[in-house]
């Protein structure tokens, strides 16, 4: 029996996983960097 | 190479290069994904699932590229004792793991409609899964060494030894029978039609820019943490010395 699969559903899923994971990685890296540099500057200023 | 061994000089360059790489990476990746999603015709054999390759292939290259970067930085650390090499290796681990994870998940999603299965234990898929576990091991090891304030040489050796998996992943589809297709892009050229190849290469460029920006951001984070800790330690020592002097 041949399954009928909507290929575009798989495309949406793959794009969604990639975009969400990449944006989370970029956002987390940027925010952590800003936080660490702000802490360093605060310590420097004390 | 030693020109950039000075953290202050590195920070001066990284300060403008990090946002530049991230913003240009987001723009180029966005263009490539929109192109791949809307402008590419369905493939004769794969149909619409060919679009998944615009996210799967860059993720696979960056997963392997991330560990190659760890291995090179580890070698530089062990041989030349470059002060930023260990930081660069640590910074490349999380983005490398994330892209390896994306590669495995998108490959699995592509496999279901194309091969009729989510997963097969063949050479390519298994060696890529091993790479993900190597990343987990490296992240745990280098993080724990940094927390304990110990030398990162053990992590560097782990990074070098783990590099043996990269050529295994690359050659796995040649050495063993696999559902995975053989390499489509080699040093001898490409078997991919230009209509698919152009957006694919743009996607690889965009994701690579993002990868570079993320590595720089994470290097800056590690450097800032080290500098803050060093300053706090110095202040604590100074305060202790002053108190001792006052009581003497």
* Beta carbons of B110 and A14 less than 8 Å apart: yes
Cα separation, B34 vs B11, whole angstroms: 34
Contact A10, B115 (CB under 8 A): no
Q: How many domains does chain B have?
A: 1
Question: Is B188 contained in some domain?
Answer: no
Question: Is B191 contained in some domain?
Answer: no
What pLDDT, on a 0 to 100 scale, did the predictor assign at position B231? 87
- Using alpha carbons, select from B23, B45, B48, B22 the residue that is nearest to residue B36: B48
Question: Is B12 contained in some domain?
Answer: no
Question: Is B190 contained in some domain?
Answer: no
Residue B18 has pLDDT above 80, yes or no: yes
Q: How confident is residue A33, by pLDDT bands cut at 50, 70 and 90?
A: very high
* Beta carbons of B214 and A40 less than 8 Å apart: no
- List Cα–Cα distances, B225 to B15, B20, B71, B228, in angstroms: 16, 23, 24, 5
* Beta carbons of B106 and A17 less than 8 Å apart: yes
Contacts of B132 in chain A (CB under 8 A): none
Question: Is B7 contained in some domain?
Answer: no
pLDDT in tens, B120-160: 898 899 999 999 999 999 999 999 998 887 878 999 999 99
Nearest to B224 among A10, A15, A36 (CB): A36
Instruction: Indicate which CATH number applies to the domain containing B233.
Output: 1.20.120
Question: Is B164 contained in some domain?
Answer: yes
Domain of residue B131, residue span: 17-39+50-177+199-247
pLDDT in tens, B201-244: 999 999 999 999 999 999 999 999 998 988 888 888 888 777 77
Q: Is A36 on the interface with B (CB under 8 A)?
A: yes
Cα separation, B141 vs B155, whole angstroms: 6
Contacts of A37 in chain B (CB under 8 A): 220-221, 224
Other beta carbons within 10 Å of B131: 25
pLDDT in tens, B171-201: 888 888 777 777 777 777 777 777 889 999 9
- Using alpha carbons, select from B97, B83, B175 the residue that is nearest to residue B135: B97
Nearest to A15 among B33, B221, B232 (CB): B33
Question: Is B30 contained in some domain?
Answer: yes
Q: Where are the beta strands (DSSP E) in B52-179?
A: none
ipTM: 0.90
Q: Say which DSSP state B2 is in.
A: G
Question: Is B189 contained in some domain?
Answer: no
The structure's pTM equals 0.90
Q: Is A25 on the interface with B (CB under 8 A)?
A: yes
């Amino acid at each position: 029996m041949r399954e009928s699969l909507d290929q575009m559903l798989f495309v949406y899923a793959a794009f969604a996983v990639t975009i969400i994971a990449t944006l989370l990685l970029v956002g987390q890296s940027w925010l952590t960097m800003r936080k660490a540099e702000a802490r360093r500057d605060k310590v420097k200023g004390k | 190479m030693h020109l950039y061994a000075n953290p202050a000089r590195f920070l001066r360059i990284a300060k403008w290069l990090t946002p530049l790489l991230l913003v240009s990476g987001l723009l180029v990746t966005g263009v490539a994904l929109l192109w791949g999603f809307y402008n590419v015709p369905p493939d004769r054999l794969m149909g619409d699932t060919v679009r998944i390759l615009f996210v799967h292939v860059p993720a696979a290259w960056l997963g392997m590229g991330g560990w190659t970067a760890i291995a090179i930085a580890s070698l530089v650390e062990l041989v030349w004792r470059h002060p930023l090499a260990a930081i660069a290796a640590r910074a490349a681990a999380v983005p490398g793991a994330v892209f390896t994870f994306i590669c495995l998940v998108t490959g699995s999603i592509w496999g279901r409609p194309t091969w009729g299965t989510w997963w097969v234990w063949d050479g390519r898929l298994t060696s890529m899964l091993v790479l993900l576990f190597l990343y987990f091991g490296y992240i745990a090891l280098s993080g724990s060494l940094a927390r304990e304030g110990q030398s990162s040489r053990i992590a560097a050796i782990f990074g070098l030894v783990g590099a043996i998996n990269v050529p295994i992943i690359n050659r796995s589809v040649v050495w063993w029978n696999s559902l995975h297709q053989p390499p489509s892009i080699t040093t001898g050229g490409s078997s991919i039609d230009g209509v698919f190849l152009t957006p694919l290469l743009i996607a690889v460029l965009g994701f690579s820019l993002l990868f570079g920006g993320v590595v720089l951001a994470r290097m800056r984070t590690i450097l800032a943490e080290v500098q803050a800790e060093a300053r706090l330690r110095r202040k604590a020592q100074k305060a202790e010395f002053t108190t001792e002097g006052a009581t003497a």
